[in-house]
Structure 1
Amino acid sequence: MFKNSGNDRNPSSFLRSDHRCVAIVGRDAHECHDVPILPASLDQMMHIWVREMAVGQSGSCEAKTYNDARRMLRNYIADLAESEHRRIMIHAPEGVGKTTAVMANHDKFAQGKASLYAFASYDIAEEKCSIFNEVNKNGPYRGVVIYSWSPLYRHAATELKLRPITTTDAAENGYKSLFQMIGGNQPEALKLVRRFCRETWMDIGDKVPVFFSVHDVAYHWGEFSTTRKLWSCKKSTEVGEKFLLSPEMDATEISLLVHDEASVDTFLSIIPKHVYQIAERIKVKSRNIRDCFLAYSAGVKRWSKENTPTFDEMCRISWALSDYQPVRVSGRGSYPDLYHQINPNNHSGYLSLYATDSPNSIGDWMIARKKWYVSGNDYIAQRIIILTTEELPVACCPSDIEIVRFSAPCIQKDTVHVMLDRSVNSERIQEVVSSACNTISEATGSLLKIVSNCHGGVYTHLGVKGSDKLTGKDILQTCMFSAPYRHEFLCALNDYLGRDDCVSLDHIDSINQTCGRNLGFRSDGIAKNFLLINRQLWNLIQASPARAHLRYAANLIWDADERKVARRKASGKHSSNSGRYSGSDYYAPIQYNYESTSGDQFE
């Protein structure tokens, strides 16, 4: 909080709506060094604060404790199960128990029929399957983890000490499909896969199957994919590639589909235009897999950029070419655009890498809606439930899926300790993380679990998404500027959706997700969460209206050197001659502390 000098009996300091800092006017003005600086102009911040209040009240309940909120969510989902809503997206905080609440009401949704729960990884699917069987141990259902065809085959080949055959092998040798080549050359691998499937069905017995798997399995369930056919062959005695000729598809008809942890990729396919053009060439050759592969190889040779889709992914793109729409990236909501909004008189050379006229810019993109949950003229399940804690998937959600929100604003926010460092980038991440770990360990004695996308040998943000395995552990998470490809991907999404906050929301969703591993509903009151973030990126996020979706209070941790620099910059921003400074020129991206600060403390 800013205060004039105690000797100033007629304070006249003011803050103009188009500026970020108080213009100090009055006695001893030259001695005021700790001048608070807003992330953006006062006018912008007023809009942000109003939005924060609105977001806080959206879909809110009156729970005062975490247990009360969990109970209310369970009752709310029970009401949804008995309602007429057939396709819903439930948006709720991390750890509140969305999936568990659906499991507790499973029978109301599934109505005694088979169902499918899809997760981000098989590890999480295993974890959730165990929880389901515990919740429903006395019921008529049996949860089992089913693996897709590819990992099942690779496991069988490894166990038999065979070299796994790839799609490339099948294409180069003239086979119609990978499955055909494996059946003709490695029938013993198929036999082992079939045995595993039979053992799983024996485990189910006479109970109703509840399949637990990964997102990709759900995305192709309605296409009668190889994976679904594989798991539908309960009694087949055929050998080799004939194994899939007599599937009992009724065995895998599902009445309930639960998709956990939705993302942008759940609803949209976003690809560079060059990739789309390669897919067009593949479609022309679609009658022959070898010619398709040759067209793919020729196209990839001319594609010098990263993130090139695999041959299988490219074939899937070629099947839906008519659904794509062209998008030209305008730069709206990009890093340079966000920087310019709060620093209109300055230019950041560091962010020129992300400009639309950068040499690495792709420029033209193609975007299509995914309809994986539709099969023919109907939906793949009678009830479809999509769960998320993030804002970007909500922004991408199609109109035929209803969005419902659940929040608990009456519960006090947990705090994440924010460590700002301009060196948080891909080149110096190892050094910066090591230094931060040493600083935190010396101050608290904590043994930290590191969550970072650019630090080897640790958890990734995606890897811990939806998981409970870090509950009770101290966490250090990192956040840095996105790679140029990811950044432009999000800018293309901005233009497609008519928004300007997708870049900021992507960072906020990631921060919320990782904070939710040991804070909020998963908090034990002891474990701490530290956010090591690029200083300039933090400034951009705090000046964005998207910051209203940050679910955790920020405790800025400054060391002595940072505080000294901040005070020196702030003191240089006001005049000492009779306090006549007008309040202009307050746009430098400097350190600020508008909420709370703890110096070198971590408590």
Structure 2
Amino acid sequence: MKKPSDLAISPKHQRQIERASNRHLNRMFKEFISPILYLPKEDLHVPHFYHKMGNFSQSALEELKQEFGDDNDSIQKEAELFSNPLRFAQYDPSKKKRGVASGYTPPGQRITNGGWMVFTFEHDGPDAASLETQLDWFAGKRDICDFHKVHTALSRYQDYRGYSTVFSGNKSLHIHLVFDTRHLSNELAKKSAWANATWQGDVPDQVLHELYRSTWVHLATTVQQSLGVPIKFDERLSSYIQKRRSPWGTRMFQDGEKPNVHGFQPGDFIEQTVIQEHMLSRAPTGSTNTLMLAKSAKAIMEVERHSQSRPSKRAVSLKGGDAFINELKRYLHECGWAQYPEPTRIEYLEPYNYLFFKNHANDGNPTTFVRGDYRMVAPSGIGAHSGPLFLPNGYTLDETLNIVEQRLAVQQVSPIASEKSKSNRPRKYSASFGEKALSRDTARANLSGILRNVADAPGTTLVQAPEGIGKTYALMQHVQERRWDREADSQHRTTQRDGDTWSPIPGFICFACKSYEQANAKRNEFIGIENGNTCAVVIKSLSKLYQEAADEFGVKPIERRQAGANGSVSFLHAVKSMQPAVYTRMTELRDEMWMINGHSMFDPTHTVVFCVHSLLKNWPHSQISKAFLHPGFPDDFNQDGVKHCIREMGLYQVIYDEVGWEDLVGIDTKEDVKLAKKVAKVAKKSTGCSWKDAGLPAQVQAFDAVVGGYMSPPMGFDECNRINQIGYQKSDKLKVDAKRFPFGKGVDEINIYAQRIGTYYSKEHRWWSNLGCPVVILTTEDLPRCIASSITLAHRAEDQLKLAAGQKPHREESQYLRTMNLTNTPHLFNELVPIYFDEDARAPDKKGRTSVIDMAQDLLESGIDFVISNNLKNIDKKYEDQVCSHQAARGRNDLTGMTIATIITYPSLGEYDQLCILGQKFDLDDPVAMAMRDTLFQDLGRNLGLRSTPEQKQDMHMVFIKSSLYRDLKLFTGATHDRYRLYHDDLPDGNH
């Protein structure tokens, strides 16, 4: 836990916070929040959140109640944030629409009168000096500090109940002003003589949000005038449901947060100290006015709310206007909009956008409209609506148009910012690429231009394109050259300023591949580029270096479990302690991997590195392992030296080649997750820390305590650690719905797939958002791209709910995982591929029936060069180099010109379960067929399509499959584009 003395502020202000911590003022929580914190019978609670990403359902609070019971003080300490009172959220699965609605009652529809409101004001200044200024407002005793002027000004209101000021943990204070609201409800007013005497009528719950917003604006002015400072407060807090800092909560800094002015790192904790508090149990002495009255709420219901008269930031272009208007209609309809008034056209009449509506079907001159900075639709013309009508979700027209534009962007291709145009308008690469790709050369030339724009964009973009089109090669040609251009331009600008010195931005350009073999092949391809960079190395993970060193010495490798049992704080510490010779050899191998022709190529500003997927995905997390790859790693583990190495091992840009769905999503059985969570709970009980912070020795001790009693351990320590690192939640649990994805043959009673009922946990990974640099993810497959699109839709829906609640979205536009589909190439190729039905295309079984092993050996003996199939690990050793699995075939470039046979077999039950879970979680139509089609296209792309050669013979690639499986899969139904066509005399018309 960080202390006041750790803050980057003056000693005087540090002591001020320390004194406040010792006083521990806490009346706001004790007298207002705690009594209604969790009242299920009254359908009332005060939302509390572990962190800013917590959802607005009561689940987080219920978890806290489950752990601490009625110990509200512990709940207060555990939660970072809270919000104003809400009713409980209800879940309706029929209302769940992926990317549109979560199924839970939105928080904006659960606002209720809990007896009080907290109005919060924050000025998040640029530096620590701003924090010192705010602390000065509360310096000294409460009756003489500067903020007492605000307290005095507000004490004229009978409904004012005081203030509590909380340190945010960074560079601001959260000033909470508490107002009594019992007089706005007849039922609550009966409990207070003052409220009963002041009651003028009930204020409907649906009006409380607007009443809150208008009152917040009034209070902000009062605070500014009383303090005599023209300070601007965060307007997001004008929302009733905006999260705000909880008094005495414990803040943990997260990965991805903006830099902390105090130098705190992710995982650091700090107390949200109550700096000053002046609370009242009743109406202030001498008060005569009431700030919030029912008549004020009635006026709000009659007058449209709009923030300021703000011109539209830009005109909305209506190229393809029908599509935009139709999407707008769909959005309004989803929000409960009636057919009329019906949106018909958008115009930009400087400086505002205007949306015009038809009042009825025969309205030939629509004049009903809404302006860009308004929500209220102004009726005009014959048949116009009567009474107030507002755009849904509290959005102005400009905000609504932005949402619709984002929805269209996700459907087509996500926004990519180019140098010439800084707008985030969607660029329709997908459609134009297919029309321009008339030959192999034109396809690659156009792809190169598209990928240049993708590589220059911030954030992460997943690009799907056909096999063999040269995605990685195009990026190899561009990224290093582009970096040189940027640095040359930056150097020129810097040297034009007297006294300034220039230094390049550090960080490696990194290409991540599926295997070390592919990494070496890509590295060789990279250094072969004409006039390119020859400073390129393949870097190995710590575990790879250790395995090589241990093999050289012929010693049994240490496992992480052994390292923890030995008391070592990390695996690397254990190797150095228990196998010093192996450790020394590891350092030599590490230094050698950076050497080319006797010279070290370690240069984060110039060298390009190639690595495997697993190393890159762990890059943000395994800090000591990453630091060890630096040739200057301190063998004494000096902390400053290690931090220096970590900084120098940063990344400038990442290209992640041949992504699979496993790289995007984690799936584990309920049993494994339950056991891993049990281990994590034991570790937390002994250390008081989460699994990630418990340390290796405590993790191993907990694992041995739980799993050590099993005669046959159901999982190893590394598997347990992997699951706990993912951090599955209750909401990640899904049960296989075999009826949703029917598959297999026979009636349900004998169909092994139809009987699947297993329960799994599934959660999307986030490694790409933690790398701290632009990322381009490449694939040829539909399944990863559809999963990525679904993730983005869910994130956009989540952020739209935040906007609806008056909160800042969690992500900026560049933080969404963008997707681009370039596989629709109708002019490029549409190759015929022979398919053969063979009942031996099955996995080996205990009955000893002929299987894929027999088929593969027969095919190779008949002259086929290579066979791709699963279940071939027991094939005769003389054929080992002529076969591989479907997974291993991904991305291979060395099979061009060979005759290849692909054998497709039924998926295992575990594979079927996983694909069902993916389909359910990401709302996919037929995940089994999609995955099998992706697999087949990957295999065919090894020597067909863009990898075919002019002298290549017909039937260079053959497919073998059981006829029943072919019918089950409907392999080419629903494909983005049938890049290959199967032909067989027995296939129905249209498929040969």
Could you tell me the TM-score, scaled by structure 2's length? 0.46
Is 1:266 the counterpart of 2:682 in the alignment? no
Is 537-546 or 66-75 further displaced after alignment?
537-546
SS of 2:946's partner is helix
Could you give the per-residue CA deviations for residues 472-498 of structure 1, whole angstroms, max 9, x where no partner exists?
111111111100011011111111112
Counterparts of residues 302-341 of structure 1 (less than 5 Å): 310-323=716-729, 325-336=732-743
Is 1:365 the counterpart of 2:760 in the alignment? yes
One-letter code aligned to 1:189: V
Alignment partner of 2:572 out of 165, 173, 179: 179
Alignment partner of 1:150 out of 536, 543, 552: 543
User: Contact between 1:326 and 1:366, CA under 8 Å: does it hold in 2?
Assistant: yes
Counterparts of residues 580-591 of structure 1 (less than 5 Å): none
User: Contact between 1:174 and 1:289, CA under 8 Å: does it hold in 2?
Assistant: no
Segments of structure 1 that go 5 or more residues without pairing to the other structure are 1-55, 340-345, 559-590, 598-603
Is 1:122 the counterpart of 2:516 in the alignment? yes
User: Contact between 2:896 and 2:942, CA under 8 Å: does it hold in 1?
Assistant: yes
SS of 1:496's partner is helix
Alignment partner of 1:425 out of 842, 854, 864: 842
- C-alpha deviation, 1:142, in angstroms: 1.8
Provide the C-alpha distance between the structure 2 equivalents of 1:142 and 1:60, rounded to a whole number of angstroms.
Answer: 35
Provide the C-alpha distance between the structure 1 equivalents of 2:988 and 2:674, rounded to a whole number of angstroms.
Answer: 49
SS of 1:553's partner is strand
Alignment partner of 2:438 out of 52, 60, 64: 64
User: Contact between 1:222 and 1:374, CA under 8 Å: does it hold in 2?
Assistant: no
Is 234-243 or 58-67 further displaced after alignment?
234-243
User: Contact between 2:463 and 2:822, CA under 8 Å: does it hold in 1?
Assistant: yes
Change (3 A) 1:143 1:295: farther
Alignment partner of 1:347 out of 718, 731, 747: 747
Provide the C-alpha distance between the structure 1 equivalents of 2:582 and 2:947, rounded to a whole number of angstroms.
Answer: 43
SS of 1:150's partner is helix
Cross-structure match for 2:785: 394
Cross-structure match for 1:133: 527
Could you give the per-residue CA deviations for residues 330-380 of structure 1, whole angstroms, max 9, x where no partner exists?
1145343x76xxxxxx73766x1112xx3xx452111112111233xxxx2
Cross-structure match for 2:702: 292
One-letter code aligned to 1:218: L
User: Contact between 1:278 and 1:295, CA under 8 Å: does it hold in 2?
Assistant: no
Change (3 A) 1:437 1:196: closer
Provide the C-alpha distance between the structure 1 equivalents of 2:829 and 2:726, rounded to a whole number of angstroms.
Answer: 47
Cross-structure match for 1:229: 627
Segments of structure 2 that go 5 or more residues without pairing to the other structure are 1-429, 488-506, 684-693, 793-815, 874-879
User: Contact between 1:272 and 1:365, CA under 8 Å: does it hold in 2?
Assistant: yes
User: Contact between 1:518 and 1:529, CA under 8 Å: does it hold in 2?
Assistant: yes
Is 211-220 or 242-251 further displaced after alignment?
242-251
Provide the C-alpha distance between the structure 1 equivalents of 2:776 and 2:705, rounded to a whole number of angstroms.
Answer: 39
Provide the C-alpha distance between the structure 1 equivalents of 2:546 and 2:587, rounded to a whole number of angstroms.
Answer: 10
- C-alpha deviation, 1:285, in angstroms: 3.2
Alignment partner of 1:86 out of 454, 459, 464: 459
Alignment partner of 2:945 out of 512, 520, 533: 520
One-letter code aligned to 1:99: T
Provide the C-alpha distance between the structure 2 equivalents of 1:198 and 1:243, rounded to a whole number of angstroms.
Answer: 21
SS of 2:651's partner is coil
Q: Which has the higher contact order (CA 8 A, sep 6+)?
A: 1
One-letter code aligned to 2:464: H
- C-alpha deviation, 1:85, in angstroms: 4.8
- C-alpha deviation, 1:178, in angstroms: 2.5
Cross-structure match for 1:510: 935
Is 1:106 the counterpart of 2:479 in the alignment? yes
Cross-structure match for 1:220: 618
Provide the C-alpha distance between the structure 2 equivalents of 1:280 and 1:500, rounded to a whole number of angstroms.
Answer: 32
User: Contact between 1:230 and 1:244, CA under 8 Å: does it hold in 2?
Assistant: no
Provide the C-alpha distance between the structure 2 equivalents of 1:415 and 1:126, rounded to a whole number of angstroms.
Answer: 33
SS of 2:886's partner is coil
Change (3 A) 1:179 1:497: same
Change (3 A) 1:299 1:486: farther
Could you give the per-residue CA deviations for residues 179-205 of structure 1, whole angstroms, max 9, x where no partner exists?
222111211211111122223334316
SS of 1:395's partner is helix
User: Contact between 1:257 and 1:381, CA under 8 Å: does it hold in 2?
Assistant: no
Is 1:540 the counterpart of 2:968 in the alignment? yes
- C-alpha deviation, 1:58, in angstroms: 8.8
Could you give the per-residue CA deviations for residues 552-584 of structure 1, whole angstroms, max 9, x where no partner exists?
11022x6xxxxxxxxxxxxxxxxxxxxxxxxxx
- C-alpha deviation, 1:145, in angstroms: 0.6
Change (3 A) 1:117 1:437: closer
Could you give the per-residue CA deviations for residues 485-515 of structure 1, whole angstroms, max 9, x where no partner exists?
1101111111111223111111001000000
Cross-structure match for 1:530: 958
Provide the C-alpha distance between the structure 1 equivalents of 2:831 and 2:721, rounded to a whole number of angstroms.
Answer: 46
Alignment partner of 1:196 out of 568, 589, 592: 589
Provide the C-alpha distance between the structure 1 equivalents of 2:735 and 2:440, rounded to a whole number of angstroms.
Answer: 45
Give me the CA root mean square deviation: 3.0
SS of 1:319's partner is helix
Counterparts of residues 18-57 of structure 1 (less than 5 Å): none
One-letter code aligned to 1:328: K
SS of 1:208's partner is coil
Change (3 A) 1:171 1:348: same
Cross-structure match for 2:284: none
User: Contact between 1:332 and 1:500, CA under 8 Å: does it hold in 2?
Assistant: no
User: Contact between 1:70 and 1:97, CA under 8 Å: does it hold in 2?
Assistant: yes
User: Contact between 2:829 and 2:945, CA under 8 Å: does it hold in 1?
Assistant: no
Cross-structure match for 1:472: 897
Cross-structure match for 2:828: 411
User: Contact between 2:903 and 2:961, CA under 8 Å: does it hold in 1?
Assistant: yes
Change (3 A) 1:544 1:437: closer
Provide the C-alpha distance between the structure 1 equivalents of 2:939 and 2:562, rounded to a whole number of angstroms.
Answer: 40
- C-alpha deviation, 1:109, in angstroms: 5.5
Counterparts of residues 444-459 of structure 1 (less than 5 Å): 446-456=863-873, 457=880, 458-459=883-884
Change (3 A) 1:440 1:236: closer
Count how many residue pairs are aligned between Structure 1 and Structure 2: 484
Is 250-259 or 73-82 further displaced after alignment?
73-82
User: Contact between 1:333 and 1:500, CA under 8 Å: does it hold in 2?
Assistant: no
One-letter code aligned to 1:129: R
Cross-structure match for 1:45: none
User: Contact between 1:236 and 1:243, CA under 8 Å: does it hold in 2?
Assistant: no
SS of 1:470's partner is coil
Could you tell me the TM-score, scaled by structure 1's length? 0.73
Is 521-530 or 431-440 further displaced after alignment?
431-440
SS of 1:223's partner is coil
- Report the structure number with the largest CA radius of gyration: 2
Alignment partner of 2:914 out of 468, 485, 489: 489
SS of 1:546's partner is coil
What is the percentage of aligned positions where both structures have the same residue? Answer: 23
Is 1:208 the counterpart of 2:614 in the alignment? no
Could you give the per-residue CA deviations for residues 44-86 of structure 1, whole angstroms, max 9, x where no partner exists?
xxxxxxxxxxxx969523322212211221122123344x453
